[in-house]
Structures are given as structure tokens and as C-alpha cells.
Structure 1
Amino acid sequence: MDTAHRFYNISLAVATLLIFVASCSDNQNDFDPETAEIVGEKQAELTLPPDVPPPIDRDNATKLIVNMEVVEKEMRLADGVTYTMWTFGGSVPGKFIRAREGDMIEFHLQNHPDNKLPHNIDLHAVNGPGGGAESTFTAPGRETVFTFRALNPGLYVYHCATAPVGMHIANGMYGLILIEPAEGLSEVDKEYYVMQSEFYTEGDYGERGLQPFDMEQAIEENPEYVVFNGAVGSMMNDKAITSEQGDNVRLFVGNGGPNLTSSFHVIGEILDKVHYEGGDRVQTNVQTTSIPAGGAAMVEFETEVPGNYILVDHAIFRAFNKGALATLAVSGEEDENVFTGQQLDRVYQPEGGAIQELPQEKRTIPTASTIEERIEFGRETYMAVCQACHMADGSGIEGAFPPVANSDYLNENPDRGISAIVHGLSGEITVNGETYNGVMPQQNLTNEEVANVITYILNSFDNEGGEVTPEDVERIRQQEGVES
């Protein structure tokens, strides 16, 4: 074959390849959600958090009918604490909506006749005035309907936009709507719905009873609670979300606000992919991602080794002092090639053998004259010092920090609690049949404060009662410790 023929054949092959690639590209890009043919109709499957509806398996747009009922009802905010929440679908956050790019969505908003207030809905996935809010102002006992075309794929927040808007959002009226791209999302093993939000209450964090909304606290952006899925502990212990070792997990994470930006983080995991701001752009190998109020993100990661992984807002006092904690429990076989666990625990004293103590600061502490005052002062100390590890309800953190609620360890011998505070505690202890092996450092508290907080614990959390005095604390302080 001469050079001219060889050049001609190569050129023809290249041209054919370019035509093929262009044809494929045209086929991928010729989908227009605004003009896509609507085939049939379906009732949308809505799910309560943390569940999400299954991935969409159809390759066409359809008329999707969404029914969402607004219900005002008293719900749990924390153990012993309730709040009158205004809900989309009976839950906080509201039910998860899953649709496909190009769908024609007929939205029905029903306001339960027992409700006291009108409500509406603003869906950030809507192209139209108010995101639907102007079309859905709904009085109690009424139903409104409007229709919108899902033009933009992504993960979007919805919320109530009835005045005062901030109050309606702060009382629980928010959720997520996913518009899948026409080609669908990549396949994963597990998907979950997680939404952060704040509650502004008249009572302090953990104060028992029905808590009213505090508008002044909301305006000052000073929440008592920052939580996932509407309540402290909503996804912990027996409510933890789960996966198996090697699973690819996708979390649809939203932030209802109404005020704070979330610094979303999974302790012990690196986020392999983050669709930040809920859109098309993907960032990889992310440690913590910011989610603004009224925003969302899709995060994906592989669970390489088993264990409990804690979801937090890494503005960390919100996690351990306001409630923004959740657990992903991963089962499976250990893989020491990835993570070994603890291999060594020994004394380290670079400054010699002297015992190192925290400096003691002189402070004036109110002195309790009655057991009632001792309990009251003790509650303040507990909330400031103890609840970060042992939780506001005394439940502790499974596998890490023992409970002080209904604690056989403390009820059998309150001196153990005193000793743990004034001397510190390390090594194995058994509480309510569970073994804990950690370190509690010595606390810089006065005898009065220790007496108050132990008295508070003994008279709270279903414990058996009793009183500890400063003299009791001094007695233990003079000892080397108490038998565990």
C-alpha cells in the first residue's frame, strides 16, 4: 500500500471515530427536561428519616403526584424534653421526596384540620415564584395544589415560607427533595437521609418538660439544641444507621437552619465524593464539608473497617453540648491492613516522674444550704462539665463513656463518683453490665462543686437519691482512690 492510500485510510478511520463520538455526545445531550415527554403518572413514594425512597429505575419522565400533610404535634426533642413541632408529613425533618429530571410534579399540600395555623411550602427545586409558596398558602382543614416541572437535577431543601418564616422553619418545617439526573445516580449499597437543624427553647439544654419557642434566642442565633433529624439521639444506639464493611454509603445531608452553617464530618471516615451545595460539581477526599442554612450536599464513602462512626457538626461544642451527634454502625471483619486499633498503652512522663496536675484557680462558688439548692447548683455544673461525655440525659456514649443514668456503679457506692472526679479514673469498670475501659482525667472542681454535681446525679436520671457533702468530698480527696 502506498503512502497516499495509507494516509487516506488513517484519515477515514479518524473521521469515523470523531463522528461516532459526536453522535454519542449528541445522544447524551439531547435530553431536554423542559420538553421531555410525560409518560403516565405515579404516586410518589415518600419516606420518613433516615430512610430514602429507592432509586428511580424508569428511563422516562412522568407525572409524579406528591401528597404532603402538615401536622402540628408535640414530639420528643431530647429525653424528658418535648416541643410542639410543625411537621411536613408528621416527622422532623419532613418526608424525603425523590423525583427524576423532567418529571411533571403535581404537589398537594394538606393542612390538618386540627392545626392552629396556616402553612405553605417553598421547594428550592422549583422554578417559579416563591418556589411554590405563593401557590400553597393553606389554612387548617384545606388543601392546595400546584404543578412544576423538575428542570434542574440536584438535592434541594424545602421549607415553610409562611410569615414569620424563621419561626415556621425553627419549629421543624423543612426537608429534602432529590431530583435525580435523567441518567440516574451511580449505584451504592446504602442511602440515608440526614438533616441538621436548630431549636430555640425558653428552657436550658436538657431542662425537662414541654419547651416553648424563644424568638429572642432565635433572633440572636443562640440555639439550645443543634440536632440531626429533629431530636437529640435520633440516630444513636438502637436507632443508629447501619452498613456492612466494604459498603459504598451515600448520605443525603441537608441543613434546615434556620441560622447556622453546618461543618458536617464523619469521625473516622474520609468522604470519597462530595456533591457540594447539592449540585453537579464533585470534590474528592474531603474531611469536612460546609452546608449552609437552606442548603444540602450528597456525600459518599466506602466503609473500609467495622466500628461505630460518629456523625457530627465539627463546630464541635454543637456536637457534644447541643446534640449534633449520630452514629453509623458498620459490621464486618477487622482489616489490620487498614486499621489496627490500639497496639500500646503505657505511661509517658517526658518531664520525669512527678505527678502532673492541672493548676488550681481560686474561685468563689455559691454554697448550697439545702439539698434542693445542691441539686440545682449540681445541674449547672453537670451541664457545663459532664454532659459532653455523659450526655444531657445521662445515657453516656456506648462503648466510650459510661452512663450515669440508673447507674449501678454509682448507686452502690457514690464515693466512686467522687473519686473519679477528684483523682481521675482509668482502667476497666463495669456499669450496668457493660465494660468500659477508658481514661477520665482529674477535674478542676472544688469540694462544693463535686458535692453538688454528684448529688444532682444521684437525684436525677432514675438513680436512687442521696446527698453528698463537701466533707464527703474532702474525705475522698485525702484518700488515694476508691475501689471500683
Structure 2
Amino acid sequence: MIKAVQAVLGLGLLCFAASQSAVAAVDYSKLPRIKQELVAPPNAPKHDQVVTGGPRIVEVRMETQEKLIEVAPGAKVWALTFNGSVPGPLIVLHEGDYLELTLSNPKTSTLAHNVDFHASTGALGGAGLTLVQPGEEVVLRWKAVKPGVFVYHCAPGGTMIPFHVISGMNGAVMVLPRDGLKDNKGKQYKYDKAFYIGEQDFYLPQDGKGGYKSFASPAEGMHEMLETAKGLIPSHVVFNGSVGAITGDNALKAKVGEKVLFIHSQANRPSYPHLIGGHADLYWVGGSFSDVPLTSQETWFVPAGSAVAAAYEFKQPGLYVYLSHNLIEAVLLGAALHMNVEGKWDDDMMIQLKKPASFDAKAAMDH
């Protein structure tokens, strides 16, 4: 098995070297460079929606971090992360740009890590060229040739692939068309805000009393986590790392009239996002910006191992709940977030004509 992986890796390196000589006409030293400062989800890095001119090299740096996190009260897991967050940060490029990634695995790590970019082409999505042992660093450059939103995840090989993914080591890349997004009629569509929701399924082993086990290191809990995962029943399904991570003071914020782009990824299982009290004005099926988006969707679909994008212009103020409409996962396992929208209420859109005696207006808005 090890020899087979080494053979594949060696072939990938040979192919990579051959491709480098084949495209030697590109003078990368003359391409403009942009350093993108990555931020923790649900926020997106600063970016232009429309760009002019030729391709650029977008530089990003990610560090693999192994950290103990609390998924829910009494439930902790050794998260394997990019830049310390579950999911990893959103990266934004434009079609034709080059991503130049520096991936660093600190000496304090206990495992090897790499990155498989679903947006890239060749060498197992870059996984064959980015494997770094603790204390090592690698630099990879790839060209963004497909516009859309895509998953990236760690894929060291064998059982380590599902283990790293279900331990939180995944994120998303958004590749925008150079002239920006288009609506269903081909007109330019500009959003006011973009949020990245990374959905994560965890499989925490339990002891004989029903409590969640804790382990001293990622490797110590790996066997039991994978055995639990074989049942395909997650203990938790959460947005951005833990139950309630995007609620309360951390709830998303917008205003009536603002157009919000939601980028939603699921590296391991399908999901069914739904915005209670709103819709997807535009939904790019499969995350493809090359295709005409669907309109007026009540619930949209995220296939396993992919990311999609949906946009909505908010019409009413108040509390919105964005969740997976597998309601068992949303309510019982944690796949939900809150969004607070400010603005003036429009009675023409909705009005309560008769109140029951038990009605509590504040509770209705806070529900």
C-alpha cells in the first residue's frame, strides 16, 4: 500500500514537472501578486467581486493546527484544522488567477497533513504535492480554471482521509468569474455581504454510561472515532465547529435591502440548507458559476464533498434561522445558526390580524 502511494506520488511529481516545462511561456515573475489575509468563518476575506486585466497570483498562508475543542457541553474532540478553525478559512480567487499556497505543519503537530483542492486540476487536487510532516512547509501553485465554490480538505491517504475530514480539516474556495456573478437573466449580480458556513459532522465515541470519551491526542482517539463513524450516524452535525457557534452575540447580521451570498460546504455528507422566513433568490446548483442559477428556492442541496452558493435580498427585519432542513440534525444535533436583520417591518408582506391571548410578541421574534 505504501509503495503504491509512493508510486502515485512520484508519478504526480513527474507529471507536475512535465507540465511546468510545457507552460514555460508564462512568465510568472511578471504577474501581479496579491496577499490575501485569511479570516475565520463565517466571515469572508476582503475581495473584489469584479476584476480587470490578466491573471494574478493570490498568495495565502495556512497552518495546520491540532487543537482540543468543545463541540457541545461535555463533548470534546481533537480537531484537525487549517488555521485553527472548523471549517478552515474561505479563499477567494477569480477565474484565471493562480493560487500560491504556503502550507506549514508546525513541529508541535503529531500527524502529517496536506490539501486536496476540489477547485484545482491534477496531482490528486494538490494532495500529492502538499504532504508535510511535522516541522515542514510546502508551497504549491495552481490555476483556477473553473468558476464556482469548491471544497478543500486534508487527504493524507487511506483511513487518514476520513479521519482528518471528520475531525474538521476542510474548507472552501470561491472562484468568481472575472466579470462577477450573473443572475438568471445574465445580468450582473453584486452582493453586499458574503458568509461562509462550513457544516461539520462529528462522530464522538461514548463510554458505557453514555458520556463522550476524551483522549490525550488525535491518534489516541482515532480508532474509536473511525469505528463509531462506520455506523454513519453522527453524534453532532454543526455549523462552524460547535453547537450554537453562530448564535447569540455571534449571530450573522444584515439589514433589510441587503443582498447576502451564503456559501455552504459539506465535505463528507449531503445537506439541505433552508432560511426560515426567506428564500434563495438565486441558487447555483453544485456551486457552479458557469451555469444559470435557479431562482426562488425554499431549500437547496449540497452534495457530499462539495460547496454551493445561494443569494437572498432580505425583505423583513427580525431573527432568521438558517439550518439544515433535515430537522433532526438541525434541532437535535446542532446544524443551525441565527441571523439578525435590522430594518422597518413591512405589514404588506406579513401582518398578524388577530392575536391569541397567550401571544408574546418578544418571544415570537426571539424564537
Which residue identity lines up with residue 179 of structure 1 in the other structure? V
* RMSD of aligned alpha carbons: 2.5
Partner of 2:41: 49
Deviations 1:433-452 (A, max 9, x none): x97579xxxxxxxxxxxxxx
Deviations 1:239-261 (A, max 9, x none): 1001011111111111122xx21
**TM value normalised by structure 1:** 0.62
Partner of 1:273: 282
The 1-side partners of 2:281 and 2:35 are apart by 34
Q: Does the aligned pair in 2 maintain the 1:46–1:98 contact within 8 Å?
A: no
Q: Does the aligned pair in 2 maintain the 1:36–1:102 contact within 8 Å?
A: no
Within 5 Å, give how 1:170-319 maps onto structure 2. 170-185=166-181, 186-203=189-206, 207=211, 210=214, 212=221, 214-257=225-268, 260-280=269-289, 281=291, 282-319=293-330
Measured after TM superposition, the shift of residue 36 of structure 1 is 11
Within 5 Å, give how 1:50-449 maps onto structure 2. 50-56=42-48, 58-60=51-53, 61-163=55-157, 164-185=160-181, 186-203=189-206, 207=211, 210=214, 212=221, 214-257=225-268, 260-280=269-289, 281=291, 282-341=293-352, 343-345=354-356, 436=363
Which residue identity lines up with residue 313 of structure 1 in the other structure? S
Which residue identity lines up with residue 266 of structure 1 in the other structure? L
Which residue identity lines up with residue 264 of structure 1 in the other structure? P
Aligned length: 319
Measured after TM superposition, the shift of residue 67 of structure 1 is 1.1
Measured after TM superposition, the shift of residue 42 of structure 1 is 1.7
Measured after TM superposition, the shift of residue 197 of structure 1 is 1.6
Measured after TM superposition, the shift of residue 296 of structure 1 is 1.1
The 1-side partners of 2:236 and 2:168 are apart by 13
Measured after TM superposition, the shift of residue 269 of structure 1 is 0.7
Q: Does the aligned pair in 1 maintain the 2:251–2:339 contact within 8 Å?
A: yes
The 1-side partners of 2:83 and 2:104 are apart by 10
Identity within the alignment, %: 32
The 2-side partners of 1:153 and 1:437 are apart by 41
**TM value normalised by structure 2:** 0.81
Q: Does the aligned pair in 2 maintain the 1:107–1:145 contact within 8 Å?
A: yes
1:321 aligned counterpart, secondary structure = helix
Change in CA separation of 1:117 and 1:272 when aligned onto 2, cut-off 3 Å: same
Q: Does the aligned pair in 1 maintain the 2:36–2:45 contact within 8 Å?
A: no
Deviations 1:168-190 (A, max 9, x none): 10001000011111112332122
Measured after TM superposition, the shift of residue 221 of structure 1 is 0.9
Q: Which has the higher contact order (CA 8 A, sep 6+)?
A: 2
The 1-side partners of 2:320 and 2:203 are apart by 28
Measured after TM superposition, the shift of residue 145 of structure 1 is 1.6
The 1-side partners of 2:27 and 2:353 are apart by 57
Measured after TM superposition, the shift of residue 343 of structure 1 is 3.0
Where does the alignment leave 5 or more consecutive residues of structure 2 unmatched? 1-24, 182-188, 216-220
Return the index of the structure with the highest Cα Rg. 1
Measured after TM superposition, the shift of residue 74 of structure 1 is 0.8
Deviations 1:283-337 (A, max 9, x none): 0010111101111111001110111111111111001100001011111111101
Change in CA separation of 1:343 and 1:303 when aligned onto 2, cut-off 3 Å: farther
The 2-side partners of 1:247 and 1:436 are apart by 25
Q: Does the aligned pair in 1 maintain the 2:254–2:342 contact within 8 Å?
A: yes
Measured after TM superposition, the shift of residue 153 of structure 1 is 1.1
Q: Does the aligned pair in 1 maintain the 2:205–2:213 contact within 8 Å?
A: no
- Which of 29, 40, 44 is 2:32 aligned to? 40
Change in CA separation of 1:152 and 1:220 when aligned onto 2, cut-off 3 Å: same
Which residue identity lines up with residue 232 of structure 1 in the other structure? V
The 2-side partners of 1:161 and 1:192 are apart by 25
